[in-house]
Structure 1
Amino acid sequence: MTTRLVRTLAAAALVLGAAACSSSGGGDPLAGSSAAPAPAGGKTVVVGSANFPENVLLASIYSQALKAKGVSVQEKFNIGSREVLYGQLQSGNLTVLPEYNGALLAYLDPKTTATSTEAVDAALQQKLPASLAVLDPAAAEDKDSLTVSQATADRLGLKSIADLNGKAADLVVGGPPEFKSRREQQFKDVYGVAFKEWKPTADTTANALKDGTVQVGNVFTTDPRIVQFKLVSLADPKNVFSVQNVVPLVNKAGVDATATAALNAVSAKLDTAGLTALMKRVSVDKEDPSAVAKDWLKANGLG
C-alpha cells in the first residue's frame, strides 16, 4: 500500500525532517534482514498501527502472534499516518509496525527508482537509521492504485493512468488527506496528469467512487470493494506506485529473537489472496479485526 497509508498532521514536516536527519547509511547488517536484533530484555513490545482498517488488522495479527510465543505486548492502534508513526518508532514509544516496503522507501527517499521487492528492500537497508530494521517481507502485497468506476472507464476510455492525460482536468480525485502532497507532483511529472480537485476521502474512497462524489480514487488493491462495486484499477506502466509488500518494521532495541521469529513466521504465511479475504471480513462484513486476526493465526498454526 501505496500506497497507502494516511492522515497527515501539521507537525508531519517536523517528523519527516527528524527522520531524514537521523537516517544513516547501510552500515548495519541487521537492517533489512531477518537476523535477530538486540535482545528485548523482557521489555513489553508495543505494537502500533496506522489509522486504516487493514493496518489495524495486520497489527492485530502481529500482536497476537507475539503473545502466542509468550511475548509481553501492548497495543496502540489507530494512531495516525506514517509521518506520525515513524517518529514514534524511532523514539522507542512504539516497537513494531506493519509497513509496506515500497511506501516506506518512498517516504524515506521520494526520488527512489526501485520498484522490485529485492531492490526496494536493498534500498531500505541504506535509508533506515541504525535503530530500525525491516524483517522478512510477506508475499502479501497491497498496492496503491488509481481506480475509477466502470462507467467512468467506459466513458473516457481509461485502462491506465496514462489515459488520464488530457482528461484529468475535469475530474475530482479522492484519497487519504496526505495523498495530494505525496503524489500530485509525481502524476504531473510522470504522466502529465493534473486533476481538477483533490478531495480527502480517507477509507471511504471506494464508496465515493460508487456514489460519484469523486471520479478517480486512491484505493488499495486488496480492498474487496473493488470487486463488490465493479471498480476498475488503472494500470501503472511507469511505476509511480512501486511494490508494496507487507513487512514488519521494528525498533531493534525492543525485540529479541523470539519476537523476530514470530513476526517472520507471519510474513512466511501471509499472501495477497489471503489478505484480501481477511479484508472482506473486516471492510464488507464489518467483523472485528481482532477476531479475524485470531482466526487467521489459528488456521495457519501461529496462534
Structure 2
Amino acid sequence: MRPRTLALPLALLLPFALSGCGLHSGTEIPEDLVPGSLGQGQPLKGVNLTIASKNFTENVILAEMIGLVWTAAGAHVIDKTNISGSIGARQAIVSGTADAMYEYTGTGWITYLGNTEPITDPQKQWQAVHDADLKNGVTWLPQSRLNDTYALGGNATNIAKYHLKTLSDVAALSHSNPSAVTLCVDNEFAVRDDGLTGMEKAYGMSIPKSNIRTMDAGIVYTTLSAGSACLLGDVYSTDGRIPALGLKVLDDDKHFFPNYNAAPVLPTRTVQRYPQIPALLNPLSAKLDNTVAQSLNGKVDVDGQDPRAVARQWLIDQGFVKPKS
C-alpha cells in the first residue's frame, strides 16, 4: 500500500530499488544506548527480540526507533527491516519471526482484513483494526497522529494564484476553469480506487483526460516543484520532499483518502510474554505526527542520511534514550 523505497539525496531524487533485505537487515543493533525517559531499570534486560519493516524510508525509520528503544531497555535486538512488500512484512509479524514493526491502519483494514470501505474517524478505524486483528494473533498498540496517506499538492506559488486550500476548491476550479487544473500523478494513483478515479467522483471534479499526466512517483515531486507542467499532483502526506521542495498540500475536506495512521503491531504472544513493551512504545507513538515524519524522512530521502542514525538522534533529542558514556 506504500510502494516507496529509500531515496538518494535531493540532487538524485529519482527513486531506486535497494538490493538485498536492508541496510542493516539480519544484524544485531549495537547496544550503545541507555535509558532516558524510556527503559528505566532496563525491563527487557537479556531478552532477544526482532524488528521488521517494509522497504520504504519512513517504515524503516519507525522500526529502527522500536529497536533502539528496546536496546536501551536492555534487549538484544536483531534488525530485519526493509522487507520487500507489505505482505512479506505482515507475515513476519503473523508468524512470529519478527516481534514488532509499525503498520498503517488503512493497510490493516483494507489490505489484510479485506474491507472495502475505510472508516472516516481515525480512532474508530484503529479500534476496528485492533479488534479484528486479535483473531489473527496480532496486537495493535495505540496509534500515532502520523497519517501517511495520499494528498494533492503543488507549487506554493501556483496554488496561491488560484486560491486553493481544499480539494473542494480544486473541484470548483475544474468547472469554472477546466484548462487550469492539470495533474501529474504516479502510475499507481492513476488506477487505484482510493486514488484518482475515486477522488474525482467523491468531489465531483471535471478534469479533462488530456490534463492528466502519469509518471514515476519520484518525478511527480520534482515536476510539481518546477511548477510549469502541472498545477497539482499526488503526494504522500508525510514525505520529506514536501517541505524540502516547498510544496503546498491541500486539505482533503471531505475525508476521501483513507486514514493510514502508524501504530506498532506485534504478535500477541510477544505482548503476553513481555507485557512491559507497551509502556516503552506508547510514549514514542504519542510524539509522532506528520511534521515529525516529514522532517525525519527528509533527512534520509533528501540529505542521504542513514535511517537508523536519523532514528537514533531523534530519540536522543526527545530524551527517550541517551548515548552510553
* Same fold at TM > 0.5: yes
Q: Which has the higher contact order (CA 8 A, sep 6+)?
A: 1
Within-5 A mapping of 1:122-133:
122-128=127-133, 129-133=135-139
Farther off after superposition, 231-240 or 137-146: 137-146
Kindly indicate whether the alpha-carbon contact (under 8 Å) linking 2:52 and 2:99 is maintained by their aligned counterparts in 1. Answer: yes
Kindly indicate whether the alpha-carbon contact (under 8 Å) linking 2:52 and 2:80 is maintained by their aligned counterparts in 1. Answer: yes
Cα distance in 1 for residues equivalent to 2:221 and 2:316:
31
* Aligned partner letter, 1:278: L
**1:164/1:293 Cα in 2 relative to 1: closer, same or farther (>3 Å)?**
same
Query: Which residue in 2 is equivalent to 1:241?
Result: 257
CA offset at residue 154 of structure 1?
A: 5.3
- Paired residue for 2:221, among 169, 189, 206? 206
**1:275/1:113 Cα in 2 relative to 1: closer, same or farther (>3 Å)?**
closer
**1:169/1:45 Cα in 2 relative to 1: closer, same or farther (>3 Å)?**
farther
Query: Which residue in 1 is equivalent to 2:36?
Result: none
Cα distance in 2 for residues equivalent to 1:124 and 1:289:
28
Farther off after superposition, 212-221 or 119-128: 212-221
Runs (5+) with no aligned partner, structure 1: 9-39
Deviations 1:145-184, CA, capped at 9 Å, x for gaps: 1112235535666433234444499744334747733524
Query: Which residue in 1 is equivalent to 2:2?
Result: 5
Query: Which residue in 1 is equivalent to 2:198?
Result: 186
- Paired residue for 1:65, among 52, 64, 69? 69
Kindly indicate whether the alpha-carbon contact (under 8 Å) linking 1:7 and 1:178 is maintained by their aligned counterparts in 2. Answer: no
CA offset at residue 53 of structure 1?
A: 1.4
**1:227/1:268 Cα in 2 relative to 1: closer, same or farther (>3 Å)?**
closer
**1:208/1:84 Cα in 2 relative to 1: closer, same or farther (>3 Å)?**
farther
Cα distance in 2 for residues equivalent to 1:154 and 1:122:
38
**1:271/1:162 Cα in 2 relative to 1: closer, same or farther (>3 Å)?**
closer
* Aligned partner letter, 1:239: H
Cα distance in 2 for residues equivalent to 1:190 and 1:109:
22
Farther off after superposition, 64-73 or 142-151: 142-151
Query: Which residue in 1 is equivalent to 2:95?
Result: 91
Runs (5+) with no aligned partner, structure 2: 6-43
Cα distance in 1 for residues equivalent to 2:64 and 2:190:
25
* Aligned partner letter, 1:264: N
Query: Which residue in 2 is equivalent to 1:293?
Result: 311
* Aligned partner letter, 2:266: V
What RMSD, in angstroms, separates the aligned Cα atoms of the two structures? 3.4
Percent of residue pairs bearing the same amino acid type = 26
Query: How many residues get paired?
Result: 267
Cα distance in 2 for residues equivalent to 1:175 and 1:64:
34
* Aligned partner letter, 1:261: A
Secondary structure of the residue that 2:195 maps to in structure 1? helix
